[in-house]
Amino acid sequence: MNLTATGLLGYAVSRRWWTLTAVAPAPTVTISGTSRLSSASSTTIKATVVDISQGTFAWSCVVNGTVCPSLANATAFTLMIAAGAPVGSYTITYSYRGEYNSSLNLTVVASSVPTVRVFHTSAPLSASPLLVYLSSQRVLLGSLVQYAGNSVTYSWYVNGNMLSNASSIGIGATVLSSTALANVGSPQTQIRNTISLRVASSANQEHYGEASVVVVVVETISANLIAALSLSNAAFATALTDKILFTPVITPALTTASSPLGATVAYAFSFYDAVGGK
């Protein structure tokens, strides 16, 4: 970018230039849906894409021991698996622009199993394509279960560890693994927490359905205000003409490049003097 300023006299010219590098953010892609399905039921797998413009997409299936279910009912953002899918295990993959992929392992069984969906009831920093929370927040999750059989049991797992038998849970984000602020926006460097729910028939624990969500927690951000006498290290003024400098110290350092997922990170400080008030 070039800037030219011309004065009243034609020969009074000042020029300055800057080199700007524009970098388009890499797309992020994720698909979600139930991971266990009765052959008598249908389900819809959803794709979430964050990109500055829409690109090409493709759904694919890798089979384990039988034929894949039909992928005919596919759109840019959904794949409907119709009732009557072959019994077996599959890996469903969504490919975006031919290089950004997300996969879901789906097991189809012959017996009737609960259909499970997990949803968040709190307000994350970002909900797409992953749930992103600040370390000061609580992760609140609920469940929606459809099952024609008898009563069911609930089992919540956090990163593989059993947590609760309730139908909904609340977790302090500080107990989850956190991601450095500079890495939050990068799928390759995020530390992801998987929270899964297994809902099983009370009469037969082998008849169960599962669903899960992935949560990213931003590392703790601390802010301190340092006061010092101007041109000195004194922490207080000694005369009316002295100047006090207030310097905010943010850890980790916040920059325009480290703001996660396009969010705006802002801070403000207030202080009071001993006599005159604010």
Contact 51, 125 (CB under 8 A): no
Identify the CA nearest to 214 among candidates 191, 186, 180, 183: 191
3-class secondary-structure state, position 132: strand
Nearest one of 50, 57, 53 to 27, comparing CA atoms: 50
pLDDT tens, position by position, for the chain (278 residues)?
777 777 666 666 777 777 777 666 778 888 888 888 899 889 999 998 888 788 899 999 998 767 899 999 999 999 999 999 999 999 999 999 988 889 999 999 988 899 898 999 988 888 877 889 999 999 999 999 988 878 999 999 999 999 999 999 999 999 999 998 888 877 778 899 999 999 999 998 888 999 989 999 999 888 777 766 665 565 555 555 566 677 777 788 766 555 555 555 566 666 666 655 54
Report pTM. Answer: 0.69
What is the CA 262 to chain-centroid distance, rounded? 12
Domains of the chain, with CATH numbers?
27-110 (2.60.40.10), 113-220 (2.60.40.10), 222-262 (no CATH)
Burial call 93-105: b when 16+ CB within 10 Å, e when fewer: ebbbbeebebebe
Q: What angle do CA 157, 174, 123 make, to 5 degrees?
A: 80
